A and B are shown apart, each in its own frame.
Chain A
Amino acid sequence: DQQVKQNSPSLSVQEGRISILNCDYTNSMFDYFLWYKKYPAEGPTFLISISSIKDKNEDGRFTVFLNKSAKHLSLHIVPSQPGDSAVYFCAASAPGAGSYQLTFGKGTKLSVIP
């Protein structure tokens, strides 16, 4: 049973436009969410996070939005750059004993076309 879902395996966006990557979750106990970026043959690198007490967090060109009632979060990249081409993973954790684990989605491959 997949608790974190990234329903779009891939996304293509023109350079300079907005990229929107989506993530849905089913576990209502999740209270901390992260986005990671991964280039081929490298480990994932942390991009941005948000806790459930907020609905938006911004860091430069990256903004994450959280809609708790819909169990949905999204990552916006504005403006998109060719160097943003990578696989993006959404991840979530719950408090308590489960907080040791991060549950990852399957990833969305973003291609930014020059």
Chain B
Amino acid sequence: DVKVTQSSRYLVKRTGEKVFLECVQDMDHENMFWYRQDPGLGLRLIYFSYDVKMKEKGDIPEGYSVSREKKERFSLILESASTNQTSMYLCATRRTTNEKLFFGSGTQLSVL
């Protein structure tokens, strides 16, 4: 079974703090994704990476950056957290295109 591990289940940060969300997968998957889920808005893609050191913007990249230095690890960075970034953050991986995504358990981030 694919295991996608997100470093924290719950996180509380202050406005203006730099926030790191980490995601690690154990299946040598090429593609990794960061989504956020908000009530009534579904899952929205922030960034994705199709290979090591490669990254592409998703639908809502503003206020975020990412890093993929190793194949198994994909980090989401909030440079200066704001209250509108309070959300459930979901990491996902996929072996290649046209295959299903495997999701982590999510990180519920609250920015106060």
B74-112 interface with A by 8 A CB criterion: 90, 92, 97-98, 100-106, 108
Which of B31, B98, B104 has the most chain A CB within a 10 Å cutoff? B98
Chain B, residue nearest A6 (CB)? B42
Alpha-carbon gap, A89 to B100, bound state (A):
13
Binding site for B on A (CB under 8 A): 6, 9, 32, 34, 36, 38, 41-46, 49, 51, 89, 91, 93, 95, 99-102, 104-107
Query: Are A9 and B97 in contact, with the CB atoms below 8 A?
Result: no
Q: Which residues of B contact A (CB under 8 A)?
A: 4, 9, 31, 33, 35, 37, 40-45, 48, 50, 56, 58, 90, 92, 97-98, 100-106, 108
Assembly CA distance A74 to B108 (angstroms)? 30
B60 to chain A, nearest CB (A): 12
- Minimum C-beta distance from A74 to chain B (A): 18
B41 touches A99 (CB 8 A): no
A102, B101: Cβ atoms under 8 Å?
Answer: yes
Nearest-neighbour CB distance to chain B for A25, whole angstroms, equals 13
How far is B58's CA from A44's CA once the two chains are assembled, in angstroms?
Answer: 19
Smallest CB separation, B13 vs chain A (Å): 18
Which A residue sits closest to B98, measured CB to CB? A32
**A44-B90, A89-B42 are contacts. A100–B56 as well, Cβ < 8 Å?**
yes
Give every chain B residue within 8 A of A46 (Cβ-Cβ).
100-102
Report whether A104 and B98 are in contact in the complex, using a CB–CB cutoff of 8 Å: no
